[in-house]
Amino acid sequence: MKFKAILATCLFSALYFSSYCQNSAKKNAVTKEKTTFQTSDQWKPTTDSRSDVAMIYGADDRPGLTFTQRVQSWRDHGYKAAFMTGIAWGHYEDYFLGKWDGKKHFDEGQVQQNGDTIWHGKNVPYIVPTLRYLTYFKEQIIKKVIDNGIDAIYLEEPEYWAKSGYSEAFKKEWKDYYGFDWRAQHESAENTYLSNKLKYYLYYRALKEAFTYAKEYGKSKGIDVRCYVATHSLLNYSIWQIVSPEASLASLPCVDGYIVQSWTGTAREPNYFNGIAKERTFETAYLEYGCMTSMTTPTNRKLFFENDPVEDVRRDWADYKKNYQTTFAAELFFPEIDNYEVMPWPDRIFEGQYYVSKTSNEKAPMPKSYSTELLVMINSLNEIKKSSTKVSGSHGISVMMGNSLMFQRMPTHDDSKAYENPYFSNFYETSGMFNRFSSNTKLSDPELSSFYGQALPFLKRGVPVSIVHLENVGFEKAFDDTKVLLMSYSNMKPPSEKTHEYLANWIRKGGILVYAGNDDDPFQTVSEWWNKDGKNYKCPSDDLFEKLGIGQQPKEGIYPVGKGKVCIIRTDPKYFALENNRDTVLRSRVETLYQEATGQKMEYKNSLYIQRGPYEVISVLDEGISAEPYSIKGKLIDLFDPTLPVIAEKQIHPGEQGYFFNVDRVADAKVPQVVASASRIYNEKVSKRSYTFIAKSPINTVNAMRVLLPAQPKKVRATDPSGKEVTNLKSSWDAFSKTNFLSFDNQPDGMKVTLEW
């Protein structure tokens, strides 16, 4: 099919967000915005990964290469072109150097207590998003990209560093927002809370302004502009001490969806479990994807999952590969999501060089075996559908999160319970990670242990824990599948009294709340809705408990409320993570309440499993209840092996993941079809005795594929774009699965494959 026809089909169907159809008759055209990647460069044969959408990064023109030319280069090769840029930083030197309005704006950078500006690059600080800056951003960035026919805009990482908040621009915003003079955040917990709450509001306002303008200006040009936020998860931002609007954006009609940026760099952040601090990449990634799913599903926003085959921090290829497989598996455990940013920055992935081992200073390009595996994995994302199947295990356990997690993530203020562990300072020093802390690294809630102390005791035992957002409790779907809700105000605070009304209503109808905490942290008494305007509660939970009819400051115990129950545990949940076996009380209470609510005993195991059509995913958890491997059987193609072997059984060990295509689960096995491939398949033609197609993928990579056929082929032929027959074609038949293995060098212009039987 001609690329013009592909593009026309893409434009025609841009507003339809249903799953990509696997039917071979419909695989010849890109009809959905299902998969995407971000790139700041023009189209190149080395980076032609064949996703649906290329997000062109930055609106700047370069010597010999304008923004318009970058966009057109991807359109010319059949891609839908979208736009992405940072809103808290970017190539906005013309604004800061005074070229836009004749005035320099470096005073609008985010400034730390010592007076240092936090820089993102030369002449570009992390930005205080003033109204003046937003005027520039709308006129010089948003308008320009829409004038180029862009109808999807992704604004990335609306980030305000918690350690900043001392610039003159911020002080002015403080006075405008609160009506009283700025207060230094390091002087009290209340000042910290108010400072971070303002940072949160500033980027909420910034995105509302930018997206509202984009939609209105697009409409004036006859373009329906869709607006998305590309953001780290609330979990990661809370740990990294960054403030961002997160869940509150879902209430804005100008926000159409999100990309959750979870990858090795965020998921390998160490956390505590049973008193031990270490990387738990799978569990962290699972919870990151889960909290973003919870944030968007009740609001019907579109959500893309992202992960990255490499990382910003120095590692070696083996490390990148292992952690990429781990985070890739984690994202597939959410069957309601089938949109993916398959990679950021393909240029650094396919053209970059990284260390060959942990101990060597030698660098090398991506190993051919890894690039083949990577392409097999991302091409499976073009095919994988939403599924009604569920992750194995006991469902109905949820943990509450809220945006105010980010408001409390500064070093403590005269808090005797501050906790310090030398593991983390050593980790950041040896990993080369930037220092995001101030000189005082003591935190009352190290590595967000109050959250992990509620989630990991169950997730580590094979319970597929879900997340509920405080900001979403008013939506009908917020409590779907939640039987027992775990919550604490030790690490966050409720945004409004209305939140408690919704919670109380859910409990009275039969919900079960397990509330853990002593409510004695210094943020309990910040000036907020529960202690002003006629209210005088010592802590926000007293408002909730009073609404539930159990009175203020209730003692530890279980209280019936309507058809539901409230279980109070007077222990800060961080200790469930910071101390060995301290989670026993929490688990015993939840186990009993879960069985009473469901009539079923909670199932503990050391694995998670899900089937999504013909795809099967397994993660076996270490530190759990057993060291036994998980055994999977069937006609299985191992998608984590670049040779795509067919196996009848495989064991997955603790700390490992598996990703398989099960030939037995193919919907119509009589139809010839490519079932796994390090390329995207086009122009399929099936006759009684033959099957032909075009395989496209980046140059300098090696294809591996398995083709399901009704019989062993008598003739296998591959030709390059010029029609020349491929001489290095590898072909082998597997009678067990009735699949033929093929391998040859990839070409972005397409290799034609013919199989006859």
Structure confidence by residue, pLDDT tens digits, 479-535: 999 999 999 999 999 999 999 999 999 999 999 999 999 999 999 999 999 999 999
Same domain assignment for residues 658 and 683: no
Taking 80 as the threshold, does the pLDDT of residue 6 lie above it? Answer: no
Task: Tell me the C-alpha distance between 193 and 410, whole Å.
Answer: 9
Same domain assignment for residues 537 and 470: yes
Taking 70 as the threshold, does the pLDDT of residue 436 lie above it? Answer: no
How many structural domains comprise the chain?
A: 3
- What letters, b where the CB count within 10 A reaches 16 and e where it falls short, cover 452-481? bbbbbbbbbbbbbbbbbbbbbbebeebbee
- pLDDT single digits (tens) 346-389: 999 999 999 999 899 999 999 999 999 999 999 999 999 999 99
Mean pLDDT of the region 274-288? 97
Mean pLDDT of the region 611-629? 96
Same domain assignment for residues 576 and 542: yes
Taking 50 as the threshold, does the pLDDT of residue 540 lie above it? Answer: yes
- pLDDT single digits (tens) 47-78: 999 999 999 999 999 999 999 999 999 999 99
- pLDDT single digits (tens) 211-254: 999 999 999 999 999 999 999 999 999 999 999 999 888 778 99
Mean pLDDT of the region 300-316? 93
- The strand pairing partners of 484, in sequence order, are 397, 512
Tell me what pLDDT residue 30 has.
Answer: 41
Same domain assignment for residues 585 and 613: no
What residue numbers bound the domain in which 632 lies? 607-662
Q: Determine which helix (DSSP H) or strand (DSSP E) holds 515, and give its type and residue range.
A: strand 512-516
Burial class (CB in 10 A: 0-12, 13-18, 19+), 422: exposed
Tell me what pLDDT residue 422 has.
Answer: 40
Tokens of 709: 């056929």
Tell me what pLDDT residue 10 has.
Answer: 36
| Structure letter (DSSP) for residue 709 | -
E runs forming strands in 256-327: 257-261, 271-273, 276-278, 302-306
Tell me what pLDDT residue 442 has.
Answer: 54
Same domain assignment for residues 432 and 570: yes
Q: Give the pLDDT band of residue 440 (cuts 50, 70, 90).
A: very low
Please check whether residue 25 lies inside any domain of the structure: no
Q: Determine which helix (DSSP H) or strand (DSSP E) holds 35, and give its type and residue range.
A: strand 35-39
Task: Tell me the C-alpha distance between 124 and 92, whole Å.
Answer: 7
Same domain assignment for residues 684 and 706: yes
Taking 60 as the threshold, does the pLDDT of residue 198 lie above it? Answer: yes
Mean pLDDT of the region 284-298? 94
Tell me what pLDDT residue 132 has.
Answer: 98
Please check whether residue 326 lies inside any domain of the structure: no
Which residue carries 């005797």 as its tokens?
A: 416
Last-in-domain residue among 557, 574, 598: 598
Tell me what pLDDT residue 25 has.
Answer: 33
**Residue 431 or residue 743, greater confidence:** 743
Tokens of 65: 């290469």
Taking 50 as the threshold, does the pLDDT of residue 593 lie above it? Answer: yes
Please check whether residue 377 lies inside any domain of the structure: no
Q: Give the pLDDT band of residue 20 (cuts 50, 70, 90).
A: very low
Alpha helices in 342-480 (DSSP H): 346-350, 368-383, 422-431, 449-459
Task: Tell me the C-alpha distance between 658 and 653, whole Å.
Answer: 10
Please check whether residue 505 lies inside any domain of the structure: yes
Same domain assignment for residues 594 and 642: no
3-state helix, strand, coil in the chain (%, to 5): 30, 25, 45
Mean pLDDT of the region 7-11? 34
Tell me what pLDDT residue 8 has.
Answer: 36
Please check whether residue 257 lies inside any domain of the structure: no
Task: Tell me the C-alpha distance between 523 and 534, whole Å.
Answer: 20
